[in-house]
Structure 1
Amino acid sequence: MTTNTAHATAALSPATAAPGPAPATGLDERIRRNPGAHRVLTGDRPTGPLHLGHYFGTLQNRVRLQRLGVEMFVVIADYQVITDRDLADRLAEHTENLVLDYLATGLDPERATIFTHSSVPALNQLMLPFLSLVSVAELSRNPTVKDEIAHSSQSAVNGLMFTYPVHQAADILFCRADVVPVGQDQLPHLEVARTVARRFNDRYPRPDGSGLFPRPEPLLSAAPLLLGTDGGKMSKSRGNAVSLSADEDTTARLIKGARTDAERRIGYDPVARPEVSSLVLLAALCQDRSPETVAEEIGDRGSAALKRTVTEAVNEHLRPIRTRRAELAADRGHVRQVLRAGAERANAVAEATLAEVRSVMGSV
């Protein structure tokens, strides 16, 4: 699911990535017609560097929405790190690196509220009433939770894992976001947020009968899910991703080791040939071409030619982003100031929402 900062001119800088096309959906059309009527909540857990899956899955959408004029909140979900691991390792470092990735890809702190989860106490207080609205059975059968448990690095799964979707619901609903740019794998979590919003509104209506929370809608990118180099889900924690901050040699090595298949002719068939098709799609996204065109061009030259094409496309596309990121990394004080300013804004919004929640619940 779950936004970012840089100098005010960064979003228009040559180093900024051009946002990819959004899918043609009713929600997207409504946003285009009236961007000021919508609020986005998005973000990431600080468990490592952002990678190409994040970039094409949601980062491009964030930049595009920002440019349209949609109000945006970006949460660095540091508390959520301990849902699936025993320790929150190198948390401060990972948090600052996330901000660098955000800024380098074009997020502008003048137009987006970037903050850490732990810096907004009122946000976390919302999770308690929200938990009362969701059953244990609903939480335990959430497919994203099941997947996270299967890949957990904990010695034993803790209770926070089952509250993870509700934690994310609090992230989304504290600022009353109605749009959440997500990858396909996060849709079950967003459905929990929609359920929480509906049940809260039904149980605790305002005096005029209206609901306090909107039901947030997902906004999927044109490439909601890229496979990792091992053919599985691309993930920061699984060592199968090309990070945005990786150098060109590391990128080449990782792509060279990517899984393909035994068929020499390169084609684009995501169902029958998922690993090859994911690489073809990655090159196409970087070159702003169709995957069919890329596959036809490579033809009978095999997987080695495919990987060379992908490596060149990725490094060319990321070069200005990486240059911008290196410039930003030289001023860590600016990164921290972005987080301070974001926390101040997020706290004001969260405290106002919590006050209204207490009022409709009659707990004031």
Structure 2
Amino acid sequence: MGTLRILSGMRPTGKLHLGHYTGALENWVHQQNLLAEDGSRVYETCFLIADYHILTTSLETADAYQHTIDMLMDWLAAGVDPEKSPVFRQSQVKEHAELFLLFAMLITSSRLERNPTLKEQVRDLNMDSLTYGHLGYPVLQAADILLYKGNIVPVGEDQIPHVEITREIARKFNFHYPHPETGNVFPEPEPKITKFSRLVGLDGKAKMSKSLGNTILLSDTPEEVLKKVRNAVTDTLKVRRNDPGRPEVCTVFSYHKRFTAQGELDSIETGCRSGALGCVDCKKLCAAAISAELEPLLEKRRYYEDRIELVRNILLEGEIKARTIASQTMQEVRTAMKLG
């Protein structure tokens, strides 16, 4: 195993879409399988199902378990290997809550209120009030990361402020509570920006989001993908087939850039700009390219759908591994703080 540990996770919101795939899952699988010259893994990887974090914006938890299973099947289909990367629910490792409580003593409310990501969430969700738990979201996230001594945190640019809060908390804890034998209990994790952090939604107005209904799911069949891509927004000035298009403003072409091979991509761009390629045909080519990449994921997902008990066992085994790491970390924390 490598000397650097990566901790990343998602809220359990059910089936995942292409934005999750290009913005996180691809990167996770790459890091999980990355090898050094001597054949050893560069990173240890742990993947968290952040079910406590649901509560920061909604009190509804009735579907959390089914959403967890649906999301986990997409993780496994995309290539997350539970033998290499423990997968586990936050709520089933109680040390998350314990470390969150201790970290809450190390940061002021004014510092959390200055968090730009929080301000954006309040604006985007039209929130007229803020719970203590939502204000403290970055502190719980710090506990998630540092409980497993994460060195690297794969994030989108909007999450960098959260990682900086994690670094501040780690520094403050290490300063006030040096471990008598090892010195610093926690590393200061570094953010690692994902290469494709966002895909614009089918409506062309925002990133993909199931709440906006502008997504293509990883579990969509080729027929469903084609139906959705047909409704995607294109260049508003390209009204007729022979009209010259502007690929740089077209939602469909932004998908082509990710899912279509370079040689064919150049041909599509040329055809669009000249007017030789109409939007209907362009969308068919795009849907086919997306479905070609999703085909192995669909096949693997069907395997797990037929073996739900296996999926549950993968989750339970991952939680055993996570609790072992978390217990060791909390023992160091209590020793450093002279608690208990």
TM-score (norm 2): 0.87
Q: Which residue of structure 2 lines up, in the alignment, with residue 53 of structure 1?
A: 19
Instruction: Work out whether residues 105 and 321 of structure 1, in 8 Å CA contact, stay in contact via their aligned partners in 2.
Output: yes
The CA deviation at 1:303 is: 4.2
Report the AA paired with residue 61 of structure 1. Answer: N
Shift of 1:287: 2.9
Shift in Å, 1:57: 0.9
Tell me, in whole angstroms, the C-alpha distance in 2 between the residues paired with 1:311 and 1:44: 27
CA distance in 2, matches of 1:335, 1:345: 16
**Match runs of 1:143-154 below 5 Å:** 143-152=116-125
Query: Are the counterparts in 2 of residues 143 and 188 from structure 1 also a CA contact under 8 Å?
Result: yes
CA–CA distance in structure 2, aligned partners of residues 356 and 297 of structure 1: 62
Name the aligned partner's letter for residue 202 of structure 2. T
* Cα displacement (A) at 1:291: 10
For residues 283 and 89 of structure 1, the distance between their equivalents in structure 2, rounded to whole angstroms, comes to: 38
Q: Name the CA shift for 1:135/1:302 in 2 (closer, same or farther; >3 Å).
A: farther
SS of equivalent to 1:53: helix
2:114 is the alignment partner of 1:141: yes
User: Cα deviations across residues 191-243 of structure 1 (Å, max 9, x unaligned)?
Assistant: 22222222222222223683211111222232122112232122233322211
State the match for 1:284 in structure 2. 257
CA spacing shift, 1:208–1:47, aligned 2, 3 Å:
same
Instruction: Show the counterpart of 2:61.
Output: 88
Identity %: 34
Sort the Cα spacing of 1:237 and 1:194 in 2 relative to 1 into closer, same or farther, 3 A. Answer: farther
Task: Report what 2:38 is aligned to.
Answer: none
Does 1:121 pair with 2:94?
Answer: yes
From the superposition, tell whether residues 48 and 185 of structure 1 become closer, same or farther in structure 2 (CA, over 3 Å).
farther
What is the alpha-carbon distance in structure 2 between the residues aligned to residue 181 and residue 331 of structure 1?
A: 30
- Contact 1:58-1:220 within 8 A present in 2 as well: no
Query: Residue 229 of structure 1 contacts residue 241 of structure 1 at CA under 8 Å; is this kept in 2?
Result: yes
Contact 1:122 1:350 in 2 (8 A): yes
Preserved CA contact (<8 Å) 2:48 2:90 = yes
2:80 corresponds to 1:107:
yes
Q: Give yes or no for the alignment of 1:66 onto 2:32.
A: yes
Do the aligned residues in 1 keep the contact of 2:208 with 2:214 (CA within 8 Å)? yes
Question: Which of 177, 181, 198 pairs up with 1:204?
Answer: 177
List alignment gaps of at least 5 residues for structure 2.
35-40, 239-243
Distance 1:291 1:61, change over 3 A: farther
On the 8 A contact 1:130/1:170 being kept in 2, the answer is: yes
Of 213-222 and 53-62, the range deviating more from structure 2 = 213-222
Structure 1: 4+ residue segments shifted above 6 A: none
Distance 2:271 2:149 in 1: 47
C-alpha spacing 1:259/1:190, structure 2 compared with 1 (3 Å): farther
Provide the residue aligned with 2:142 in structure 1: 169
1:268, distance to aligned residue in structure 2 (A): 5.2
Give the number of equivalent residue pairs: 324
Deviations 1:12-57 (A, max 9, x none): xxxxxxxxxxxxxxxxxxxxxxx71111111111112111111111
In structure 2, distance between residues paired with 1:119 and 1:260 = 45
Matched, 1:181 2:151: no
Q: Distance in 1 between matches of 2:23 and 2:201?
A: 13
Structure possessing the higher radius of gyration over alpha carbons = 2
1:255 aligns with 2:229: yes
Give 1:25's aligned residue. Answer: none
Distance 1:211 1:266 in 2: 58
CA RMSD of aligned residues (A): 2.3
Contact 1:84 1:154 in 2 (8 A): no
CA deviation string 1:42-87 (max 9, x = no partner): 1111112111111111111111111122211111011111111131
Q: How far off its partner does 1:190 sit?
A: 1.9
